[in-house]
Amino acid sequence: MNNFHKALIFFFGFVSFDLFQVSIASIVSTGDFNEDFFVIWSPTHVNTSSDGKTRSLKLDQESGAGFASNQMFLFGQIDMEIKLVPGHSAGSVLAFYLTSDQPNRDEIDLEFLGNVSGQPYILQTNIFADGFDNREERIYLWFDPTKDFHTYSVLWNLHQIVFMVDRIPIRVYRNHADKGVAFPRWQPMSLKATLWNGDSWATRGGQDKIDWKYGPFIASFRNYKIDACVWKGNPRFCRASTSTNWWNQYNFSTLTSTQRSWFKWVRKYHIIYDYCQDNERFQNNLPRECSLPKY
């Protein structure tokens, strides 16, 4: 057993208490895609198993596809197991995200950018806060995301937004609203997944287009968990720190020491673009949060 696998065992042992806390909270999801989601785009390109436990989206020359949650949420944790489009997937984009769908929208994005055969997928994350974005980060994953399902998660609370892959934090966006940094904290968001043609920009800046001879392109989903505050029109309920709203409690206000170690590992070995290092793009006037602590 190598050091990486030993570290994983230690990490999962460490988070078991957190997972126990999740298990005793109120789980919104039923585990049935037909119960918790509705198709928003091209139902002929959405395939759901007879028991509702798995779902796939298809992209071909006719259309892409997508689905969205029946409920809207304000804070919580979302987990989804996803297996990405295999083989030559250049130009395709699978988006898994939370969005308020307002003109001044808040949004928390995970976008999986396809690539030519043999080249790695890119996972791009982005955050919209009060209608402003330009907060992209990109990483290469440390595994082939087309061979098996992996868990992609978002923890969103009053203190921070944490993007995770198989429980490993890959990105943290802290709430620095008191320092003038926009943070999604008032608008409820629905959960969406879409598969679409993004070949104008997705792969090498749009240089590699979709090659339809490799289609149809199919991505699969299963074993999701939505543990979040369902929007009922009262933000104070969702902003409270209670046993039900476990995500707002102090234990989840920052990364643990073990999570920080994993986060630093991702930043050191897997990040390929960080908007906070793009002085040319921002004309040497980087967004304010770039100079503030991440945890």
Range of the domain at 150: 33-291
Residue whose token pair is 């040319």: 280
Q: What is the pLDDT of residue 89?
A: 93
19 falls within a domain: no
Domain presence at residue 238: yes
**Residue 26, pLDDT score:** 58
- pLDDT surpassing 90 at residue 102: no
Answer whether residue 16 is part of any domain: no
Q: What is the pTM of this model?
A: 0.90
What is the CATH classification number for the domain harbouring 66?
Answer: 2.60.120.200
- Predicted confidence at residue 202, as pLDDT, reads 86
Mean pLDDT, residues 92-119 taken together: 93
pLDDT tens digits along 208-261: 899 999 999 999 999 999 999 999 988 888 998 888 899 999 999 999 999 999
pLDDT surpasses 90 at 206: no
How many distinct structural domains can be found in the chain? 1
pLDDT, one tens digit per residue, over 142-181 is 999 999 999 999 999 999 999 999 999 999 999 999 999 9
Does the residue 140 lie in any domain?
Answer: yes
Q: What angle do CA 70, 72, 78 make, to 5 degrees?
A: 90
**Catalytic annotation, residues:** 107, 111
DSSP structure class, residue 129 = B
Angle at which helix 257-269 crosses helix 3-24, to 10 degrees, equals: 130
107-113 sheet: strands from edge to edge: 37-41, 65-69, 190-197, 92-99, 107-113, 122-128, 137-140, 271-274
Place of tokens 């949650």: 69
